[in-house]
A and B are shown apart, each in its own frame.
Chain A
Amino acid sequence: MAHAAQVGLQDATSPIMEELITFHDHALMIIFLICFLVLYALFLTLTTKLTNTNISDAQEMETVWTILPAIILVLIALPSLRILYMTDEINNPSLTIKSIGHQWYWTYEYTDYGGLIFNSYMLPPLFLEPGDLRLLDVDNRVVLPIEAPIRMMITSQDVLHSWAVPTLGLKTDAIPGRLNQTTFTATRPGVYYGQCSEICGANHSFMPIVLELIPLKIFEMGPVFTL
């Protein structure tokens, strides 16, 4: 989960998120250099004593400041498109979970092996145990295996919601009447948090998502099916 006042990305728990963090670092370095150049140009503008009121054109400069940004955009676009197509790769998911947004909770359906369906409500502050996270912990977590491709089918029963887990690099809109799909493979076990990411009413901030990722061996023993 994020720590207080965190600005940067969370550590990656899936290969796609690792790629996204790499791309973010790459784009940020380019942004830093552009900002540095602009600050230098601003400094020169403010401190120069040169004045020439007869400049009529500057063809060379205009050529440079057209071609250079085009090159920079290509340098940013190529890795971006690579990751975009990577997220759409078909990877043969071994498990499919349906996630349905409601005002203001999530319903999860494990229908591959039996008909397990449950709701996931945020724990009200009065019901928190010591160590629980305020506004993040839920009564029923989504228990999933690591190192197995998982398909999430996301939709909504009422208004727009969005199912997001930052550490996995996931954010998919839950749209009523539409089924959206996203896949992921988690690389390490743990408890990971997300929050609804599309304004959906008074309690939009109070319908978190909690994934409990466990080793496949333990998942196969069926802890999730003992609810």
Chain B
Amino acid sequence: MAAPPEPGEPEERKSLKLLGFLDVENTPCARHSILYGSLGSVVAGFGHFLFTSERSCDVGVGGFILVTLGCWFHCRYNYAKQRIQERIAREEIKKKILYEGTHLDPERKHNGSSSN
């Protein structure tokens, strides 16, 4: 069993594993994709049934797969962009703290080049 979290530490969310291996709670974008996929599946399947009155399970399953995949790629792309921006911001803050007031201050370099 994992050690109980220290006071002030964020509690790890209970893991819910779909099919026994996909942890939707602790995998970024997984819960969001699966929920939208389920919604897409219901909309596609029910919509197909309303229009055609034929068996729509196949459309529902296909809709689930396509919507989940689409949401997943879209969310992961944005997540990757966000992580890169966070990393850049962290580096800049660190540089600013280390070099403020010195000749290596990034703000001084930037102001110097813009005034030239």
Contacts and interface: CB of A to CB of B under 8 A. Distances in A.
Contacts of A26: 76
Interface string A14-52: 000000001001101101110111011000000000000
Interface string B56-78: 01000100110011001000100
Nearest to A40: B61
B8 to A, nearest CB: 17
Given A3-B2, A4-B1, A36 B30 contact: no
B65 A25 contact: no
Interface string B1-25: 1110000000000000011011100
Contacts of B29: 25
A31 B18 CA distance: 11
A8 interface: yes
Contact of B61 (A3, A31, A35, A37): A37
Nearest to B87: A15
A36 B67 CA distance: 14
Contact of A28 (B27, B69, B80): B27
A155 B97 CA distance: 41
Contacts of A37: 61, 65
Nearest to A35: B19
Contacts of B23: 8
B28 interface: yes
B18 to A, nearest CB: 6
Contacts of A5: 1
A74 to B, nearest CB: 14
A37 B41 CA distance: 13
A86 to B, nearest CB: 14
A33 B19 contact: no
Nearest to B1: A4
Contacts of A28: 21-22, 27
B68 A22 contact: no
A40 B26 CA distance: 26
A32 B1 contact: no
A25 B1 contact: no
Contacts of A33: 65, 68-69
Contacts of B28: 25
Given A29-B33, A36-B64, 6 more contacts: A3-B1, A8-B23, A8-B26, A22-B80, A28-B22, A40-B61
28 contacts: A3-B1, A3-B2, A3-B3, A4-B1, A5-B1, A8-B26, A22-B76, A22-B80, A25-B28, A25-B30, A25-B76, A28-B21, A28-B22, A29-B22, A29-B27, A29-B68, A29-B69, A31-B21, A32-B21, A32-B22, A33-B68, A36-B19, A36-B64, A37-B61, A37-B65, A39-B19, A40-B57, A40-B61
